[in-house]
Amino acid sequence: MQKIDLKKELKHLYQPSAREVVQVDVPTLRYLMFDGEGNPNTSQDYAQGVEALFAVSYTAKFMVKKGPQALDYAVMPLEGLWWAHDMSSFVTGDKSQWKWTMMILQPDFVGDDVIEAARAEVRRKKRLAAVDRLRLEPFSEGRCAQVLHIGPFSEEGPTIERLHDFIDARTGRAGKHHEIYLSDIRRADPAKWKTIIRHPMQAPGGRAASAS
């Protein structure tokens, strides 16, 4: 049985260095998404959304593995887009004002019909209300800068500042703050958590990149 690891195939996007900020061109990718707002540490909506994302993603994986395609692939990590109407809430730590889209990349060979079948299966077996709020759609970021942060989320500040300085010295920022969570925070030592910090860059001439 063929085994596929998209993190290796997309190494330039999912295995950045912690030593330096790098520029990458991110193609249009297809994600299962869940939108919400509020403090992710206390929000039941957030917890239910993330549970639904993983439940559908893993169900789709096993459908593909056991189906005619007979492909075995690793489910991709959780990712998050973060923003707020008043961006100062990220400085003050007022997480109640945060808005977010949590998402998991879906391989091209996993058809929309498989995702819908997986959604129906999860709805039937687990009765997760959040399943009905999931959406599957393409996401485009284009030219971005990214760097790997090692350590707890509470210590991301200096890493984000390095990333912003890199972008601002070139074209300026566009789009939304993007994080990719490579570690299982339920098991790993917070000092060893690995998080990719990514942010879209403005196109030449100051035009915003295509991130949405």
Instruction: Specify the CATH number for the domain of residue 203.
Output: 3.20.80.10
Residues 39 and 118 in one domain: yes
Q: What would the 3-class secondary structure string for 87-126 be? A: CCHHHHCCHHHCEEEEEEECCCCCCHHHHHHHHHHHHHHH
- pTM (2 d.p.): 0.92
- CA angle (32, 38, 43) in 5-degree steps: 80
Cβ atoms of residues 73 and 6 within 8 Å: yes
User: In angstroms, what CA-CA distances link 83 with 58, 79, 176?
Assistant: 28, 14, 6
Same domain, 135 and 35: yes
Q: 10-residue block means of pLDDT along the chain (212 residues)?
A: 91 96 97 96 95 98 94 96 83 84 97 97 92 97 97 93 95 95 91 97 67 43
Name the residue range of residue 120's domain. 29-139
**Final residue of a structural domain among 91, 121, 139:** 139
Query: Which of 85, 105, 139 is where one domain is finished?
Result: 139
User: Per the structure block, which two tokens stand in for 21?
Assistant: 């900020």
CA neighbours closer than 13 Å in the CB half-sphere of residue 95: 7
Same domain, yes or no, for 34 and 130? Answer: yes
d(CA 37, CA 8): 32
Structure tokens, 160: 């984000």
The domain tally of the chain equals 2
Are 87 and 166 contained in the same domain? Answer: no
* 84 and 103 part of one domain: yes
Looking at the DSSP assignment, which residues form a beta bridge with residue 72?
3
Same domain, 45 and 5: no
Domain match, 175 and 145 both: yes
Let me know whether 99 and 50 are in one domain.
yes
For 55, the enclosing helix (H) or strand (E) is: helix 44-66
At residue 204, the pLDDT reads 75
- The predicted pLDDT at position 206 comes to 59
Residues 93 and 127 in one domain: yes
Last residue of a domain, one of 139, 163, 192: 139
Residue 1: exposure state from Cβ atoms within 10 A (0-12, 13-18, ≥19): exposed
- Tell me, yes or no, whether 67 and 105 share the same domain: yes
Task: Enter the tokens of residue 149.
Answer: 């942060």
Residue 179 sits in the same domain as residue 156: yes
